Structure 1
Amino acid sequence: MDYWAIDVPNLSDRDARKLVKYASSLGYDGDVLSPSIWLTWALDRGSVAMLRSAAKAGLASESGRWSKVEIAGVESMISEMDDWLSATGEDTGPEITP
Structure 2
Amino acid sequence: MTDHTDIPITETHHCSCGEQDDGLPELDVRTIPHAIRHGSVIGAFSQVAPGSAMVIVAPHNPLPLLNQLQQINGDSLAVSYLQEGPDAWKVKLARLA
Query: Please, what TM-score do these two structures have when normalized by structure 2?
Result: 0.31
Q: Greater Rg, structure 1 or structure 2? A: 1
Greater share of helix:
1
